[in-house]
């Protein structure tokens, strides 16, 4: 019976296409001094080739709220930085997803409530 289940499992693995997962590494929480610069690091790994159409988004959720604010978006090889929200004019794209497998951004001069 065990041999039969093993053969069925091998047959199913051969039939079902493999998924293309991307493993993402990023910190959950960051701390910074007021007026300093903080880097929001993000890197990823994939066993498969990653196209230029890869998309990354960074969101910010202030303490005590349920809503998040989109602050950074990368798609089609171009970074789109927040120009209206709480981090306007203080965000900087710090990574290149294809050669270095990272999509990080930095925030200049964080303030107390952030």
pLDDT digits (tens, 9 = 90+) for 63-110: 788 888 888 888 877 888 877 878 888 888 887 665 556 777 787 877
At 75, which CATH number?
2.60.40.10
Q: Residue 38 sits in which domain range?
A: 20-108
Number of domains in the chain: 1
pLDDT band at 2 (very low <50, low <70, confident <90, very high): very low
With respect to residue 10, please indicate whether it lies within any of the assigned structural domains. no
Residue 73 counted as domain residue? yes
pLDDT value of residue 82 = 77
Length of the chain: 114
Token pair, residue 45, equals 């790994």
pLDDT digits (tens, 9 = 90+) for 21-72: 677 777 767 777 778 888 877 777 777 777 777 777 888 887 788 888 888 8
2 in any annotated domain: no
Q: What distance in Å separates the CA atoms of residue 81 and residue 96, rounded to the nearest whole number?
A: 15
pLDDT at 36: 83
Q: Which residues contact 97 (CB under 8 A, 6 or more apart)?
A: 44, 50, 54, 56, 74, 103
Answer whether 79's CB lies under 8 Å from 93's CB: yes
Taking a C-beta distance cutoff of 8 angstroms, is the pair 85, 104 a contact? no
| pLDDT score for 1 | 36
- Residue 83 within any structural domain of the chain: yes
Residue 69 maps to a domain: yes
* 13 falls within a domain: no
User: Is 35 inside any structural domain?
Assistant: yes
| Residue 3 domain-assigned (yes or no) | no
pTM to 2 decimals? 0.60
């Amino acid at each position: 019976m065990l041999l039969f289940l093993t053969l069925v499992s091998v047959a199913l693995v051969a039939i079902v296409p493999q998924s293309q997962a991307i493993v993402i590494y990023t910190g959950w929480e960051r701390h910074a001094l007021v007026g300093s610069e903080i880097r929001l690091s993000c890197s990823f790994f994939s066993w498969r080739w990653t196209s230029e159409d890869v998309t990354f988004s960074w969101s910010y959720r202030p303490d005590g709220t349920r809503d998040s604010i989109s602050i950074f978006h990368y798609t089609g090889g171009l970074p789109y930085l927040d120009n209206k929200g709480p981090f306007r004019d203080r965000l900087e794209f710090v990574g290149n997803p294809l050669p270095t497998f990272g999509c990080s951004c930095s925030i200049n001069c964080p303030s107390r409530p952030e």
